[in-house]
Structure formats: structure tokens, C-alpha cells
């Protein structure tokens, strides 16, 4: 049943941080939680027109993305509110308003969350992957229970590589409105394209075709990770490290206590198991250089030194956890590191090929545009030639009309001339002569007009033919260029397919190596726990007297050999015990030392034996060094550099209780370590 007085719970995180597992922990609890997974997911824009599609979301990719098995569909809780949500959910909620601060955007967001809270059939829980940039606004609307979920950024970024969706989503966030100055600088530094469309699907298609190389991809991700730590984690009442939650039962108890203070109970994290990889020196160099650049950018764009120091400490801790891949026991980690190096290089090469293909596509589109323009010019030339022909025909028709009019006028004049011819023959002859002259002139003008028309037609046809020849030549060149570009495009696409197949094989190998590394770590933990259980078991305590009796029996069996050894070596040890203080005393008194050296010069064999004894004791650390007199030769200095203070090895009865209970080999190792530590302290005192 829904508790009307309970405040809603908000879980904020980035992608691939164990958020789906956390959502499932709340959903499967019997404490009455009503869980909304990703309430700002862009797919919810279809909840009104395609509600059945919402229930099918994530079914195909559930195992591919390693999401936990869910009893109900991913967006099951939203389905009953489809009609109400359709009136308030907006495309801008997902990415455009990621850093929103305007009152209008906040009011729209509150109206949407209010519908979800009112429709909840229990205490509402919102698991959000797109709210890290606006936690302050959500907390002002719904204070009291905000949790931040974080993960090792190295593992999290590598998990992004499981699907290109997550890198494209980061690029959409980088295109959000009202970007902080820090992200404006990041966008300019790694040259992120600016693109917006009414359809979020077309935005994803665009950024999937304009992907970043590996270094820039991690820089953008780490910038978002740091921004979330500073702006989101600091404002939440509780933060949960999913990595620690996977391996530490003590940390799980601490998290449950923290949740209890927020009124959240009935959760079980016993099955939490987040994959964690081991990294080598090459991995650390790749990540650490980029992280240092992001830290410097944060300081340069208004963030405090204390905030950045916390991020630097986390980065240093990750670098200290690097594994020595030169050791044979870490060869599996070395192979995983090399596979990651290959993947990074392959991704960078793939991005380069993608950029080349985009350039080729742009050139092909430009060529098609040029060909279209050429074809349009041909059609325009044809239309202009046709218009010129029609205009010439009209001119000819007009000339013919004018000739008919003149001929009719001439005929009328001839009729009047014939009528007057009856009156005067001279006038008739004159009129006939004039008429013949006019008729000849008219025929000449008519012939000249016809010649002009024919010349104009010939000139028009010639121009039309020349234009068609030029246009056909341009069209042929453009067609040839298009064919060359198509062949180049086919070649590059073949290379892309080859790189994609290689990329997929490397991803499979990385996944296998990560699983092997995790299995080895689990096996180590199991063996350690079994050994601790053995030491803590009652049988180990009960057999303590038996082990002591076995040690006593071994000592008694070896006692005759010890006595025999001491009976043989006792004279030598006694002589050595008497010689050491005498040599020390002689070295402290110059007269005795000079006399001993003179006497020993007459007994070279004895001198050699004493020098060998002194060197042996010096190597064992049982003699102190005394300064040799100035001018003494090298052998004399070696002989005189003797320490007569002999250390005594501790008896078993003097040892601490923890060392007493160890087996003889282990006890011998501990005694050697104690001797080394004592020698180091003596050297520091000197």
C-alpha cells in the first residue's frame, strides 16, 4: 500500500553504474516500493501512440547489456499512466534540459514527476540516469531522500563500449542547452559537432556517424563523471559505491544503516556482483593523462581547489591499484591490457575511417549536386533554344504578313494606273515603269528578308549544338567522377566491415579475460575464507596439544645429534669466544694492536686464520667496525674492521605468543624478519 506521508526516493547515477541492479533491488522488495526506471528515457515519448512498444523495451538487449533478469518489463510502472504522461512528457526532458536552470523547465519537470508520484501504488522510487546535472533543482522540489550511485570510472567507461548508444548519449548531453563554461571548453577542445533535430532518433543517428576517438571519448565521459561527483553527489543525502557493495559485507551493513536513517528498509544486497577489472601500467598511463587534463580544466573554469583535490585523490588511488604485468602470475591481466590497447587503437582507426567516409559521402553528394546543376543547365539551354526558334518563326510570319500588305497596296496602285492609262499613254508608261521599279525593289527586299531569317536560324542551331556538346561533355565528366567516388566508397566500406569484425572479436576476448580475472579473484577469496575458517575451527584448537607433542617428539629425536654437534664444535666456539674480546681489547689500545701486528707478521698462517675468522664474523654482522690507523694496508684494514659484540638469537620461550603457535618453517621466517628489522634499526641509530 502507498504511504501518503513518505517522501519519494531519487537514485541518481550515470549510465552503466549498476543502476538497473539497484532498481531491481527496490522493485523486488516486500516493503511497498513503486519503482520507475529511467523516468526521463527518450523512448517514453512513444508512450501515448505506441504503449505496447514501451513494454517490449530492453527485452532483446537485456542479456547483451548484462542487465539483471526482471520479473516485469522495464517500463511496466509507466504503462498504466500512458494517457496522462503523453500530455506532459517532452522530448527536451531527456538531454536538452540536462543542465536546466530556468523556471519554466523546472515547472514542466515538476508537473511530470507529480503525475508519476500521484499514480504510484507504493512509495515512489525514481532511478534516474539523466539527472546528474539538475539534482539541485529536483532536490528543491522533492527534498529528503536523494541517493547517488557511483562506480570506478575506468570500469564504467569500458562498460560504455558494450554499445555505441552510451557514447552517442554523452554527445547529446554535450549538445544540451545552457552548458556550463567548463563543458563549453571541453566541446571546443575535442571539436564536438553541434546538431539538433525534432526527432531524438535522428540526433542519435547523426552522433553515431560522428563518433569520438578513444581519448576524446574518455575525456568527455570523465568530465561528466567529475561534474556529477561535484554537483550531484555533494547534494545527495547518501552515496553508494557499487564496487564496494559487491565485495565488502561491512560496507553493505553501513549502506543499510544509512538507508535506514532515510526511512528505507527491506532491501537485500547479498547478490550484488559488479564486474571489476585489473589494470596494468599502459591502462594507467592512458587514463591518468586525460584525468589530469580534466582536473586542470575544472580549476581553470571556476571550481574550487578542494573539490578538485577530492577527484585527484580518487585518481591517485586508482593508479596505486595498478598491477605489475611483468610478473608471471599476472600474465592474464597483461593479455587483457594488450587486448584493451588493441581495442583503443581499433576504435581510433574506425573513427578515422568514419571521418573519411563522411568526407567521401559529402564529395559524392556535391558531385550529384553538380551533375544535377549541369543537367538543369542543359534543360534551360534547350528551353532557351526552343524559345529562340519560336521567336524566329514569329518574326518570319510577321515579315510575310507585311509583304502581303505591301503586295495588296501595289495591286491597288496598278489598278489605278491602268484606269489612268486610258487618259494618258505617257502617264501609263511612266506608271508602268515606276511599278516595275517598285516591284523589283520589293522582290529584292523580300529576298534580303528571307536571307536574314535563314542566317538567324542557322546561327541559332549552331549555338544550340555547341551548348549541347558542352553540356554533354560536362555531364560525362561528372558521371565518371561519380563512378570513381562510388568505387572508393565501396573500398572504404569494405575496410569498415573488416575493422568492425576485428572490433567484435576483441570485445569478446576482453569480456572473457574480465570474467577469468573475476573468477580468479573469487577463487582467491574462497580459499582465504576457508583457511580462516580452519584456523578458527574447534578441531584446530583441539589438536593444539597434539601438535605440541609432535614438536616435542621431534626435538627429543634430534637431541642426540645436537649433543654430538655441540661436543665437536664446543672447543672451536670456546676459542672463538675467548679470541673475540681479546681482539676487541687489542684494537682499542694502539700499543697492543701494534705489538699484535708485529708478532702475527712472524706467524703468517695464524694471521690468515684470524683474518678469515674476522671476515666471517663481519659478514654475519657480529663484529663492530673500528677505524684502522692511517697508512695501514688493505689487509690490515680488513683485519681490524671487526665487531666483537655478538648477538644472541632468541629462544622459543622468549617469542611472542603469535609466533610460538606457528609451524617451524613459518617461525624461522618470522625470526629472520625480526633480525633484519633489528639490523635496520641499529644502522639508523648509528
Question: Which DSSP string do the residues of 623-656 spell out, in sequence order?
Answer: S---PPPTT--HHHHHHH--------PPPGGGS-
C-alpha cell at 680: 635496520
Same domain as 436, residue 339 = yes
Same domain as 582, residue 471 = no
Q: How many CB atoms lie within 10 A of CB 489?
A: 16
Residue 322 lies in a domain: no
- Report pLDDT digits (tens) over 89-108: 999 999 999 998 888 888 99
Read off φ and ψ for residue 239, nearest 5 degrees.
-120, 145
The pLDDT, as a whole number, for residue 623 is 47
Q: How far is CA 16 from the centre of its chain?
A: 11
Same domain as 137, residue 256 = yes
- Asked whether residue 456 carries a pLDDT value surpassing 70, the answer given is yes
Q: Which residues are CB-contacts of 331 (< 8 A; sequence separation ≥ 6)?
A: 325
Cell 589438536 locates to 543
Beta pairing class for 146-150 and 9-12: parallel
C-alpha cell at 461: 542551331
> Could you tell me if 31 and 78 are in contact, meaning their C-beta atoms sit under 8 angstroms apart?
no
Q: How far is CA 195 from the centre of its chain?
A: 21
Same domain as 594, residue 492 = no
Residue 64 is classified by DSSP as T
C-alpha cell at 609: 686464520
> Could you tell me if 224 and 132 are in contact, meaning their C-beta atoms sit under 8 angstroms apart?
yes
Q: What pairs with residue 10 in β-bridges?
A: 126, 146
d(C-alpha 630, C-alpha 632), whole Å: 6
- Asked whether residue 122 carries a pLDDT value surpassing 90, the answer given is yes
Same domain as 576, residue 520 = no
Q: Which residues are CB-contacts of 264 (< 8 A; sequence separation ≥ 6)?
A: 9, 145
Residue 176 lies in a domain: no
d(C-alpha 40, C-alpha 89), whole Å: 9
> Could you tell me if 354 and 209 are in contact, meaning their C-beta atoms sit under 8 angstroms apart?
yes
Q: How many CB atoms lie within 10 A of CB 543?
A: 12
629 lies in which domain range? 569-685
Same domain as 365, residue 244 = no
- Report pLDDT digits (tens) over 492-516: 777 878 877 887 877 787 777 677 7
- Read off the pTM: 0.55
Q: How many CB atoms lie within 10 A of CB 283?
A: 24
d(C-alpha 570, C-alpha 171), whole Å: 84
Q: Domain end: 254, 277, 300, which one?
A: 277
CATH number of the domain residue 270 falls in: 3.40.50
Residue 309 lies in a domain: no
- Asked whether residue 428 carries a pLDDT value surpassing 70, the answer given is no
What does the pLDDT average to over 46-52?
Answer: 77
Q: Out of 163-177, 214-228, 552-566, pick the least confident.
A: 552-566
Residue 580 lies in a domain: yes
d(C-alpha 20, C-alpha 61), whole Å: 13
Beta pairing class for 33-37 and 9-12: unpaired
- Asked whether residue 620 carries a pLDDT value surpassing 80, the answer given is no
Residue 179 lies in a domain: no
> Could you tell me if 200 and 100 are in contact, meaning their C-beta atoms sit under 8 angstroms apart?
no
Q: Which residues are CB-contacts of 381 (< 8 A; sequence separation ≥ 6)?
A: 464, 467, 468, 471
pLDDT, averaged across the chain: 80
Read off φ and ψ for residue 328, nearest 5 degrees.
-60, -35
H helix count then E strand count, the chain: 24, 5
Residue 171 lies in a domain: no
Q: Out of 307-316, 471-480, 636-645, pick the least confident.
A: 636-645
Same domain as 107, residue 242 = yes
Q: What is the dihedral of CA 323, 326, 327, 328, to 10 degrees?
A: 120
Beta pairing class for 146-150 and 123-128: unpaired
Q: Out of 64-73, 175-184, 269-278, 339-348, pick the least confident.
A: 64-73
d(C-alpha 657, C-alpha 653), whole Å: 9
d(C-alpha 625, C-alpha 642), whole Å: 5
d(C-alpha 570, C-alpha 576), whole Å: 10
Q: Which residues are CB-contacts of 261 (< 8 A; sequence separation ≥ 6)?
A: none
Q: Is 10 helix (H, G, I), strand (E, B) or coil?
A: strand
What does the pLDDT average to over 215-243?
Answer: 95
Q: Which residues are CB-contacts of 76 (< 8 A; sequence separation ≥ 6)?
A: 55
d(C-alpha 673, C-alpha 667), whole Å: 10
Same domain as 410, residue 529 = yes
> Could you tell me if 166 and 56 are in contact, meaning their C-beta atoms sit under 8 angstroms apart?
no
Q: Which residues are CB-contacts of 605 (< 8 A; sequence separation ≥ 6)?
A: none
C-alpha cell at 456: 538567324
Q: Could you tell me how many residues make up the chain?
A: 686
Residue 201 lies in a domain: no
> Could you tell me if 274 and 242 are in contact, meaning their C-beta atoms sit under 8 angstroms apart?
yes
The pLDDT, as a whole number, for residue 599 is 83
Same domain as 142, residue 63 = yes
C-alpha cell at 577: 669466544
Q: How many CB atoms lie within 10 A of CB 343?
A: 19
Same domain as 677, residue 625 = yes
C-alpha cell at 466: 555547341
CATH number of the domain residue 368 falls in: 1.10.287
- Report pLDDT digits (tens) over 154-185: 999 999 998 899 999 999 999 998 899 999 99
C-alpha cell at 342: 588493441
> Could you tell me if 137 and 483 are in contact, meaning their C-beta atoms sit under 8 angstroms apart?
no
Most confident of 242-256, 368-382, 465-479, 662-676: 242-256
Residue-by-residue DSSP string for 533-561 = HHHHSHHHHHTHHHHHHHHHHHHHHHHHH
Same domain as 575, residue 530 = no
Cell 683474518 locates to 611
d(C-alpha 57, C-alpha 305), whole Å: 43
- Asked whether residue 117 carries a pLDDT value surpassing 80, the answer given is yes
Q: How many domains does the chain have?
A: 3
Read off φ and ψ for residue 133, nearest 5 degrees.
-90, -5
pLDDT-derived band at 482, boundaries 50, 70, 90:
confident
Q: Out of 9-18, 428-437, 536-545, pick the least confident.
A: 428-437
- Asked whether residue 413 carries a pLDDT value surpassing 80, the answer given is no
Same domain as 227, residue 365 = no
C-alpha cell at 485: 567516388
Residue 91 lies in a domain: yes
Beta-sheet strand order (sheet of 146-150): 33-37, 123-128, 9-12, 146-150, 238-241
Amino acid at each position: 500500500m502507498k504511504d501518503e506521508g513518505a517522501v519519494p526516493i531519487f537514485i541518481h547515477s550515470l549510465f552503466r553504474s549498476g543502476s538497473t541492479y539497484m532498481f531491481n533491488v527496490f522493485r523486488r522488495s516486500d516493503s511497498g516500493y513503486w519503482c520507475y526506471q529511467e523516468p526521463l528515457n527518450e523512448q517514453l515519448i512513444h508512450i501515448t501512440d505506441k504503449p505496447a512498444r514501451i513494454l517490449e523495451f530492453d527485452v532483446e538487449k537485456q542479456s547483451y547489456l548484462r542487465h539483471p533478469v526482471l520479473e516485469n518489463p522495464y517500463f511496466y510502472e509507466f504503462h498504466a499512466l500512458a494517457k496522462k504522461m503523453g500530455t506532459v512528457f517532452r522530448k527536451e526532458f531527456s538531454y536538452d534540459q540536462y543542465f536546466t536552470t530556468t523556471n519554466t523547465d523546472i515547472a514542466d519537470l515538476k508537473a511530470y514527476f507529480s503525475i508519476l508520484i500521484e499514480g504510484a501504488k507504493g512509495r515512489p522510487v525514481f532511478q534516474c540516469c539523466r539527472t546528474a546535472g539538475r539534482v539541485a533543482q529536483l532536490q528543491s522540489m522533492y527534498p529528503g531522500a536523494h541517493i547517488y550511485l557511483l562506480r570506478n570510472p575506468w570500469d564504467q567507461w569500458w562498460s560504455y563500449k558494450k554499445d555505441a548508444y552510451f557514447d552517442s548519449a554523452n554527445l547529446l548531453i554535450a549538445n544540451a542547452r545552457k552548458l556550463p563554461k567548463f563543458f563549453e571548453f571541453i566541446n571546443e577542445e575535442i571539436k564536438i559537432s553541434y546538431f539538433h533535430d525534432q526527432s531524438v532518433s535522428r540526433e542519435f543517428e547523426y552522433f553515431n556517424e560522428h563518433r569520438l576517438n578513444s581519448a576524446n571519448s574518455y575525456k568527455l565521459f570523465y568530465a561528466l563523471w567529475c561534474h556529477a561527483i561535484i554537483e550531484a553527489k555533494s547534494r545527495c543525502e547518501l552515496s553508494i559505491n557499487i564496487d564496494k557493495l559487491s565485495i565488502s559485507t561491512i560496507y553493505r551493513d553501513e549502506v543499510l544503516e544509512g538507508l535506514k536513517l532515510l526511512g528505507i528498509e527491506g532491501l537485500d544486497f547479498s547478490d550484488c556482483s559488479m564486474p571489476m577489472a585489473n589494470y596494468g601500467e599502459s591502462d594507467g598511463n592512458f587514463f591518468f593523462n586525460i584525468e589530469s587534463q580534466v582536473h586542470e580544466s575544472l580549476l581553470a573554469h571556476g571550481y574550487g581547489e578542494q573539490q578538485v583535490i577530492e577527484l585527484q585523490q580518487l585518481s591517485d588511488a586508482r593508479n596505486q591499484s595498478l598491477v605489475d604485468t611483468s610478473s608471471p602470475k599476472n600474465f592474464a591481466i597483461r593479455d587483457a591490457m594488450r587486448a584493451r590497447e588493441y581495442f583503443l587503437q581499433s576504435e581510433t582507426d574506425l573513427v578515422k575511417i568514419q571521418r573519411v567516409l563522411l568526407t567521401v559521402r559529402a564529395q559524392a553528394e556535391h558531385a550529384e549536386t553538380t551533375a544535377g546543376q549541369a543537367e538543369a543547365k542543359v534543360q534551360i539551354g534547350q528551353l532557351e533554344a526552343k524559345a529562340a526558334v519560336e521567336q524566329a518563326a514569329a518574326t518570319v510570319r510577321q515579315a510575310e504578313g507585311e509583304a502581303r500588305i505591301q503586295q495588296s497596296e501595289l495591286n491597288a496602285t496598278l489598278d489605278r494606273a491602268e484606269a489612268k492609262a486610258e487618259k494618258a499613254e505617257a502617264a501609263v508608261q511612266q506608271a508602268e515603269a515606276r511599278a516595275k521599279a517598285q516591284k523589283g525593289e520589293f522582290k529584292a527586299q523580300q529576298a534580303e528578308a528571307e536571307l536574314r531569317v535563314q542566317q538567324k536560324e542557322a546561327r541559332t542551331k549552331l549555338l544550340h549544338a555547341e551548348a549541347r556538346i558542352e553540356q554533354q561533355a560536362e555531364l560525362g565528366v561528372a558521371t565518371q567522377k561519380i563512378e570513381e567516388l562510388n568505387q572508393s566508397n565501396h573500398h572504404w566500406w569494405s575496410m569498415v566491415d573488416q575493422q568492425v569484425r576485428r572490433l567484435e572479436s576483441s570485445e569478446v576476448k576482453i569480456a572473457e579475460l574480465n570474467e577469468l580475472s573475476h573468477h580468479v579473484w573469487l577463487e582467491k577469496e574462497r580459499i582465504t575464507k576457508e583457511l580462516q575458517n580452519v584456523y578458527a575451527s574447534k578441531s584446530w584448537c583441539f589438536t593444539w596439544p597434539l601438535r605440541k607433542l609432535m614438536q616435542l617428539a621431534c626435538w627429543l629425536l634430534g637431541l642426540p645429534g645436537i649433543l654430538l654437534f655441540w661436543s665437536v664444535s664446543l672447543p672451536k666456539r670456546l676459542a672463538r669466544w675467548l679470541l673475540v674480546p681479546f681482539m676487541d681489547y687489542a684494537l682499542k689500545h694502539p700499543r697492543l694492536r701494534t705489538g699484535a701486528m708485529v708478532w702475527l707478521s712472524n706467524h703468517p698462517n695464524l694471521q690468515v686464520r684470524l683474518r678469515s675468522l674476522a671476515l666471517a664474523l663481519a659478514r654475519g654482522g657480529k663484529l663492530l667496525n673500528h677505524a684502522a690507523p692511517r697508512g695501514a694496508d688493505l689487509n690490515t684494514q680488513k683485519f681490524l674492521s671487526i665487531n666483537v659484540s655478538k648477538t644472541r638469537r632468541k629462544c622459543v620461550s622468549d617469542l611472542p605468543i603469535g609466533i610460538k603457535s606457528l609451524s617451524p618453517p613459518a617461525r624461522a621466517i618470522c625470526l629472520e624478519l625480526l633480525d633484519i628489522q633489528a639490523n635496520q634499526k641499529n644502522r639508523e641509530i648509528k
